[in-house]
Amino acid sequence: MKRFSFLELAKNAFNAHQNWGRQWRAPEPKAEYDIVIVGAGGHGLATAYYLAKEHGMKNIAVIEKGWLGGGNTGRNTTIVRSNYLWEESAALYNHAVNLWQGLSTDLNYNVMYSARGVMMLAHTVHDIQVFKRHIHANRLAGVQNEWLSPEAAKDYCPPLNIEKNIRYPVMGAALQRVGGTARHDAVAWGYARAADDMGVDIIQNCAVTGIRRGIDGAVEGVETAKGFIKAKKVGVVAAGHTSVLMDMVGVRMPLESNPLQALVSEPVKPAFPCVVMSNTIHAYISQSDKGELVIGAGTDQFVSYSQTGGIHITTHTIDAICELFPMFRRMRMLRNWGGIVDNTPDRSPIIGKTPVPGLFVNCGWGTGGFKATPGSGHVFAHTIAKDEPHPINAPFTLDRFRTGRLIDEAAAAAVAH
Amino acid sequence: MSQSFRTEAGGRIDRDRKVTFSFDGDQLEGYEGDTLASALLANGIHMVGRSFKYHRPRGILTSGSEEPNALVGVYRQGDQTPNLRATQVELYEGLKAISQNRFPSLGFDVGAVNDFLSPLFPAGFYYKTFMWPRSFWDRVYEPIIRAAAGLGKPPKNADHDRYANLYAHCDVLVVGSGPAGLAAALAAAETGARVILCDEQAELGGSLLSETAATIDGKTPVDWVEDAIRTLQAMDNVTLLPRTTAFGYFAQNFVALAERITDHVSEPDPNLPRERLWQLRAKEVVIAAGSIERPMVFPENDRPGIMNAEAGRTYLNRYGVKVGHKALVATACDTAWQAAFDLADAGVEIAAIADLRENPPEALQSIAQARGIRVETACVVTGTTGRKRIDKALLGRVSASGSVASAGDLACDSLLMSGGWTPTVSLYSQSRGKVMWDEAAGAFLPGQHVQNERSAGSSRGLYGLNDVLADGYAAGEEAAKAATGKSAKVTYAVASGAEAGSGGTLGALPDDRDASRVKAFVDYQNDVTAKDVKLAVREGMHSIEHIKRYTTTGMATDQGRLSNMNALAIASKALDKPLTDVGLTTFRQPFTPTTFGTFATSSRGDFFDPVRKTPSHQWATDSDAAFEDVGQWKRAWYFPKAGEDIHAAVARECEVVRNKLGLFDASTLGKIEVVGPDAAEFLERMYTNPWKKLGVGRCRYGLMLNEAGFIIDDGVVGRIAEDRFHVTTTTGGAPSVFATMEDYLQTEWPDLDVWITSTTEQYAVAAVQGPLAREAIAPFVQGIDLSPDAFPHMSVATGTFCGVPCRLFRISFTGEVGFEINVPRRHGEMVWKTLEHEVAKLGGCTYGTETMHVLRAEKGYIIVGQETDGTVTPDDAGMTWAIGKKKHDFVGKRGLQRPDLVADNRKQLVGLLTTDPKVVLEEGAQITESANPAVGTPADGHVTSSYHSPAMGRSIALALVKNGRALEGKTLHVPMPDGSIPVTVTGPVFFDPKGDRLNG
Amino acid sequence: MLLIHCPYCGVERPETEFACRGEAHIIRPADPSTQTDEQWAEFLYLRENPKGLYAERWRHIHGCGRFFNAVRETVSDKFVKVYKAGEPKPDLEALAKEMSA
């Protein structure tokens, strides 16, 4: 693999960039792999990367129905933060935040991790109580999070309207300075390039049509559009399509797939320095390096694989954005799109073994999967390689829905984002 | 010289009405009917902006909404709108427009250095560098990139304008008012169907407004358009919407339109909204969105003065503007020849027509010959020169093998190009239809219908005016029939002239230049060149989605309408794969950028979310109460007297209630009337508590769980009659509790004979609490014996209060003697004022939610959502007493038996007392065993409520603590940033633990 | 915004009048105390979540208030059938065949 650097870029400028090689190959599948990962989104590619890098596994394939990074990885609002309430969640997401810090260097691919701060707005007395609980819990867990007065929030984000006469005035904010955004496509591409370099086969445009089990019930491999591929272990990392894949082995999941919308404005010069989220009035906004305001909208209320949603969902979000940032009313929406998010009942992911020996699943990230990408891949790789969970993902079992040991971020924060 | 490029006559502009406007501070003139683009061109101004990445000078490329270059900021009355297309901005007196993405000026832009450094900035360069040193990304690289990127300047001030919303239905929506759209609207309207015809342009007529080389029913196209519009205007069943973009096609023929109402007016009527959102349910949709001309991809194809051929023709015929004195026409298809002829006839010198094809139609060649126009065949433009405007074009001859030899150069001040036409399939694609490649048309065309729509005219690849008209009529007729079942004898107009042309090219043209040194732009706005697309392919980006995201081609504000096909063809060639195997990206809504305000409409301020107010709201406002938002409710938080802060006010209110009495508005609590022979059985199943033996006239606290076993709501339930219960819920939980009850009743237990009705808005509720409560209400109560024996704690009775019907509860959320007076809502204010007067007379006061919270915490009463968070069981909350032990089943009972809910070490509700009574813990603070917990130590619990308690003369707190009840008397720690606070675990009831005061 | 036919009111109304209440035909066991933890978890949480036809519950919450069931195709979001609460679950496989025919 040719290393990326400014020097390399400059050298290539002299030959019109004719000598750059492929960032990843387009291999035909081999008959057999030690591990097959189903789904070449950020989480799946990261899993393959860490399997190869940290567990010395070489014979790995990542199989993707469409093109790599084409699902939720390339459709989200790119927010990264780890100030979750429960220790289990904070540990998981903070593991990811720690990996984000060095990810560009690690992958030799600039994923543009921008620690510009994520500010979550409190609009009610109840919000204040909830956020302060988060801040205290996070401090104990070693996760950065701090309380800001409305004035301090405005200092941090000058466009913010902190007037008392709006419908839900800002009463303060929780700020995680180390939170921010990253360039979503680059994350998928960076992992793909680095994994490919270590011999991982990334097989695109190859839908998995079945998961084959042996007489003993254990996984034997996957049926695909390009034929049967034998595998000792299979990891399903298919986000919104997890239920469909798990149904192939008769495993029902505690998941519902809903359309989640996002939108961008036309690009403008820098107007918005950080990420602002308001769970109470449903506004999530930042500005991309290109200049677009990137805005997260809500989910439709029904199960759907359509990757589009209703206009009332979008409208509701823009209402909230215009209320908090009234100067943006004259901005214009450039593009509105949808992804399919897989929601669990407690809004926390499932990362671990399944009732089928050799079959592993990593799903249920709901609206918040992008931020966890490196951490998720890292602990899932550990789980697959060692046949047992990493301590960080040990609580995120499928079995918790039987025992009742939920990690309920939904109940804790009304909405988990 | 003013408007020196204006023709003597012709066009749709009003030459009697001069309009003055400014561009970058220069005062200029145009005419009413001009767009900013046509007016600038009339003044000889082509260069209007700088490109996104390389800051190259850019001119007006098109005459429509797909314009990628001519993006300007428009300023009016303190409002500023970035990125408006000059081709769509209508000229009005005093219009002030500013060019974008340049510093310090359009003519001299320091960013232009990027163009010289461009070898360093190929597609995706930023993924390959800026990684070292690590900390420089946030502090150095990213700020530079951000400042350089972006187009216009963002608005700084709150928008002054209003926006409106309208829901509408129609039988047939026709999108686009060119020949196909007008014909469709005429045909559909004749059947009597309700028709809406919308068009994004200021004037209806589409391409007919610039068509001079044809007749329709013997009339000029423009006359025919005017007649057609008069016909449609006269029909009651037709709504015409110019300046209206159908921007979104949603499920089930739901189409969103954005109508622009005042932006084109010099002095807008302040009563009018700026824009209006139409949310339209159309039975049938006719998409007559037309097609757009493709630019040609040749080196330096982006200089000002270079524009699409049809745009040049439109500026001439529709706006009376010549795009230059000497134009070169470069084309691969027939239509551009007509542009050359029209311009020549208007006196523009045509340097040549350079056609890529070896044998353009003879007929065209002979017309050119007749006009003395030089024709070059098998000829391509291989480059251009000129700093801020094209001054010369290099030509090349294409051999049969495809190689190119120089064919000299030509001086020109404008270059009109046409690579052929791309049908506009965006709306069809949004309707979730899949486009199909049509080899004959050389384009992607609409395929199967997914919704009730049909495309007509050139949006489905039909050209030639007569065919397009006929297709439009047929589409309108069919759509009306499908929508209404009705048909009519439709009169078809017939056109002659403007025949369907042939030709067209996709992708980069061949040239004889050094590929590494030239830029041939594919996506103008995002500065994506043919080289960039090839580089992406070289680097393994083989899906069109990867190519798009890696190079950003097609991600500009035109969503790739101009660039997609060329990019796809270049990629297809680089990949050596058929075009159709590379894929096409999906078109997303909105069709063109749509104002946020148009979505938000009137939903601002108090209209953002309805405000729910209690009967005492006005009184409380007049009394300077502080309010808090609880759900949609505004609740009085506390009632400060002069000089009091929240602490002082709450302390005073608490003491007054405990010593005398207080008045509280409890109207926000949810209320549900549960009635019927099986009412008790129903409650038996919904709540943990037993209800069957509750006597009429008695109340009981009810606890509600979800099926998982966790507390979700609570409230007092009174038995009004054998078959009638008055249920109360939390304020926030009211809608969901009611919905849950309905759910069980309708779907699980339809056999139960029970009706439930939400009565939250039915009753106003005043709570009078305190030792003197009885004294305060007694004078107004009739029909109820208030003596403690007759009406003990947890009683309910019906009578009158101040002469109005009343349900009187004797209940307490303070630990004092308490009454809650439920009266019909319309009497609420009267009752409140009467009571307030009486309470004040007895030395009492009104109190708000904060005092209510303190008083209940002193008694250890939980608040659902504060002591609980969806993970708390009745046992955790110390409320197993609320579970009916003999009940075989209730909602949540099975859930409670799950392993983790019966495990040891669950967090339990306890009281906490700080060692220092003055220290009030922070709510949400964590609790640990150790005074100095290491980072990562799991917390043993957290503080749920914490207050200064005037009754106890110290601070108190409630908390959920692991195994808390077993730790009573033990010392734990609350770690804070500046050190731990030691606390002693106690029971959760601090005040009057025996409850003597309740029964007074 | 979907357009939904309420089988009780007999009219089509926009989605904002309705609340979706998840998968249909999940029946609360008559005697929950006999359920194992696995069975209870299944009742509480496990859902079909199919890509294709799905029987789900809707409530005409801002209309008649009634719960009813609907079969909807989860890729196109098209409603295939609406029916009253208590009516049997349609044969989804047969419906799918009918649609593709």
How far apart are the C-alpha atoms of B868 and B873, rounded to whole Å?
8
Residue C62's domain spans which residues?
3-26+43-100
List the Cα angle B316/B426/B80 in 5-degree steps: 65
Identify the residue among A305, A316, A348 best suited for mutation to test binding to C, counting C beta carbons within 10 A and taking the highest: A305
pLDDT above 90 for B596: yes
Identify the residue among B281, B747, B901 best suited for mutation to test binding to C, counting C beta carbons within 10 A and taking the highest: B747
Coil, helix or strand at residue A87: helix
pLDDT above 80 for B151: yes
Task: State the burial class of residue B517 (Cβ atoms within 10 Å of its Cβ: 0-12, 13-18, 19+).
Answer: exposed
pLDDT of residue A129: 94
pLDDT of residue A414: 43
Identify the residue among A167, A178, A347 best suited for mutation to test binding to B, counting B beta carbons within 10 A and taking the highest: A167
pLDDT digits (tens, 9 = 90+) for B533-568: 999 999 999 999 999 999 999 999 888 999 999 999
pLDDT above 80 for B959: yes
Q: Which residue in the set B450, B893, B895 is minimally distant from C76, CB to CB?
A: B450
**Residue B918's pLDDT band (cuts 50, 70, 90):** very high
Q: Provide ipTM, 2 decimals.
A: 0.97
Same domain, residue pair B392 and B438: no
Work out how many CB contacts closer than 8 A connect A with B: 328
Same domain, residue pair B842 and B919: no
Q: How many domains does chain C have?
A: 1
Residue B371's domain spans which residues?
295-419
Contact A333/B590, CB-based, under 8 Å?
A: yes
Residue B981 lies in a domain: yes
How far apart are the C-alpha atoms of B604 and A223, rounded to whole Å?
53
Please indicate if any CB of chain A lies within 8 Å of the CB of B227: no
Min Cα separation A214/chain B (Å): 33
**Residue A417's pLDDT band (cuts 50, 70, 90):** very low
Tokens for B31, please give them. 């005419």
Q: Which residue of B has its CA nearest to C66?
A: B746
Q: Concatenated DSSP letters for B851-892?
A: HHHHHHHHTT---TTTT--SS--TTTTT-GGGS-TT-S--TT
Residue C33 lies in a domain: no
Identify the residue among A251, A303, A306 best suited for mutation to test binding to C, counting C beta carbons within 10 A and taking the highest: A303
Chain C residue numbers with beta carbons less than 8 Å from the beta carbon of A243 are 47-51
Q: Which residue in the set A241, A256, A402 is minimally distant from C37, CB to CB?
A: A402
Contact A256/C56, CB-based, under 8 Å?
A: no
Chain B residue numbers with beta carbons less than 8 Å from the beta carbon of C1 are 250-252, 254, 279
Q: Which residue of B has its CA nearest to A170?
A: B629
Q: Which CATH superfamily is domain A118-179+257-343 in?
A: D-Amino Acid Oxidase, subunit A, domain 2 (3.30.9.10)
Chain C residue set in contact with A, beta carbons under 8 Å:
1-2, 15-16, 19-20, 22, 37-38, 40-42, 44-51, 54, 56, 72, 74-77
Contact A302/C72, CB-based, under 8 Å?
A: yes
Q: For the residues A288-315, what does the mean pLDDT come to?
A: 93
Domain-terminating residue out of B840, B856, B872: B856
What CATH number is associated with residue B56? 3.10.20.440
Q: For the residues C86-101, what does the mean pLDDT come to?
A: 92
Average pLDDT across chain A, whole number = 95
Chain C residue numbers with beta carbons less than 8 Å from the beta carbon of B254 are 1, 3
Q: Which residue in the set A68, A168, A268 is minimally distant from B150, CB to CB?
A: A268
Residue B756 lies in a domain: yes
Contact A153, A160 (CB under 8 A): yes
List the Cα angle C52/C53/C55 in 5-degree steps: 140
Instruction: Give me the residue spans of the domains in chain A.
Output: 22-109+183-254+347-403, 118-179+257-343
Same domain, residue pair B440 and B561: no
Q: Which residue in the set C42, C49, C75 is minimally distant from A256, CB to CB?
A: C49
Please indicate if any CB of chain C lies within 8 Å of the CB of A407: no
pLDDT digits (tens, 9 = 90+) for B90-102: 999 999 999 998 8
Q: For the residues C8-24, what does the mean pLDDT come to?
A: 96
| AA letter at B339 | A
Coil, helix or strand at residue B476: helix
Residue C95 lies in a domain: yes
**CA A409 → CA A302, A405, A417, B711, distances in Å?**
21, 12, 9, 16
| Coarse DSSP helix, strand, coil percentages of chain B, rounded to the nearest 5 percent | 25, 30, 45
Q: Which residue of B has its CA nearest to A90?
A: B936
pLDDT above 90 for B506: yes
Contact A45, A70 (CB under 8 A): no
Percent of chain B with pLDDT over 70: 100
Percent of chain A with pLDDT over 70: 98
C-beta neighbour count of B242 within 10 angstroms: 17
Q: At what angle do helices B646-659 and B849-858 cross, to 10 degrees?
A: 60
DSSP B141: I
Residue C93 lies in a domain: yes
Coil, helix or strand at residue A164: coil
- The separation between CA A303 and the C-alpha centre of its own chain, rounded to angstroms, equals 20
What CATH number is associated with residue B672? 3.30.1360.120
Please indicate if any CB of chain C lies within 8 Å of the CB of A243: yes
Chain A residue numbers with beta carbons less than 8 Å from the beta carbon of B865 are 126
Identify the residue among B706, B738, B746, B891 best suited for mutation to test binding to C, counting C beta carbons within 10 A and taking the highest: B746
pLDDT digits (tens, 9 = 90+) for A31-62: 999 999 999 999 999 999 999 999 999 899 99
Same domain, residue pair B386 and B436: no
Q: What is the radius of gyration, based on Cα positions, of chain C?
A: 15
Query: A279: Cβ–Cβ under 8 A, 6 or more apart, which residues?
Result: A120, A127, A413, A414, A415, A417
Contact A302/C46, CB-based, under 8 Å?
A: no
| CB contact burial B832-856 (16+ within 10 A = b; e otherwise) | bebbbebbeeeebbbbbbbbbbbbb
Q: How many domains does chain B have?
A: 6
Q: Work out whether strand B971-976 and strand B435-438 pair parallel, antiparallel, or are unpaired.
A: unpaired
Coil, helix or strand at residue A363: strand
Identify the residue among B751, B887, B893, B894 best suited for mutation to test binding to C, counting C beta carbons within 10 A and taking the highest: B894
What CATH number is associated with residue C65? 3.30.2270.10
pLDDT digits (tens, 9 = 90+) for B654-668: 999 999 999 999 999
Residue C91 lies in a domain: yes
Chain C residue numbers with beta carbons less than 8 Å from the beta carbon of B894 are 32-33, 35, 40
Please indicate if any CB of chain B lies within 8 Å of the CB of C20: no
How far apart are the C-alpha atoms of B575 and B537, rounded to whole Å?
7
Please indicate if any CB of chain A lies within 8 Å of the CB of B596: yes
What CATH number is associated with residue B969? 2.40.30.110
Q: CA nearest B628: which of B643, B639, B615, B641?
A: B639
Contact C46/A303, CB-based, under 8 Å?
A: no
Chain C residue numbers with beta carbons less than 8 Å from the beta carbon of A241 are 51
Chain C residue numbers with beta carbons less than 8 Å from the beta carbon of B889 are 31-33
| AA letter at B246 | A
Same domain, residue pair B299 and B398: yes
pLDDT of residue B104: 86
pLDDT digits (tens, 9 = 90+) for B173-207: 999 999 999 999 999 999 999 999 999 999 999 99
**Subunits in contact with chain A (3 or more CB pairs closer than 8 Å):** B, C
Phi, psi of B155 (to 5 degrees): -60, 145
Query: B600: Cβ–Cβ under 8 A, 6 or more apart, which residues?
Result: A315, A318, A319, A321, A322, A323, A329, B163
DSSP A27: P
Same domain, residue pair B431 and B413: no
Contact B331, B356 (CB under 8 A): yes
Q: Work out whether strand A118-122 and strand A172-176 pair parallel, antiparallel, or are unpaired.
A: antiparallel
Tokens for B594, please give them. 């749509």
* CB within 8 Å of chain C, chain A residues 277-306: 301-306
pLDDT of residue A413: 52
Q: Which residue in the set C20, C54, C74 is minimally distant from A301, CB to CB?
A: C20
Q: CA nearest A89: which of A403, A338, A400, A402?
A: A400
Cis preceding linkage at B133, omega within 30: yes
Q: Which residue of C has its CA nearest to B735?
A: C61
Please indicate if any CB of chain C lies within 8 Å of the CB of A346: no
Phi, psi of B119 (to 5 degrees): -55, -25
| CB contact burial B264-300 (16+ within 10 A = b; e otherwise) | beeebeeeebbbbbbbbbbbbbbbbbbbbbbbbbbbb
Query: B291: Cβ–Cβ under 8 A, 6 or more apart, which residues?
Result: B421, B422, B423, B424, B458, B459, B461, B463
**Subunits in contact with chain C (3 or more CB pairs closer than 8 Å):** A, B
pLDDT of residue A416: 28
* CB within 8 Å of chain B, chain C residues 36-95: 37, 40, 43-44, 57, 59, 61, 65-67, 76-78, 85-86
Min Cα separation B581/chain A (Å): 11
pLDDT above 70 for A144: yes
Tokens for B4, please give them. 């020196």
The domain over range A22-109+183-254+347-403 is classified in CATH as 1.20.120.160: no
pLDDT digits (tens, 9 = 90+) for B301-353: 999 999 999 999 999 999 999 999 999 999 999 999 999 999 999 999 999 99
Same domain, residue pair B309 and B367: yes
Please indicate if any CB of chain A lies within 8 Å of the CB of B515: yes
Work out how many CB contacts closer than 8 A connect B with C: 57
Domain-terminating residue out of B115, B130, B145: B130
Contact A325, A62 (CB under 8 A): no
Chain C residue numbers with beta carbons less than 8 Å from the beta carbon of B742 are 59, 65, 67
Average pLDDT across chain B, whole number = 96
Cis preceding linkage at A254, omega within 30: no
Chain A residue numbers with beta carbons less than 8 Å from the beta carbon of B151 are 266-269, 291
List the Cα angle B900/B901/B902 in 5-degree steps: 90
**CA B331 → CA B211, B293, B509, distances in Å?**
19, 11, 11
How far apart are the C-alpha atoms of B456 and B425, rounded to whole Å?
11
Q: For the residues B724-745, what does the mean pLDDT come to?
A: 96
**Subunits in contact with chain B (3 or more CB pairs closer than 8 Å):** A, C
C-beta neighbour count of A2 within 10 angstroms: 13
pLDDT above 50 for A415: no
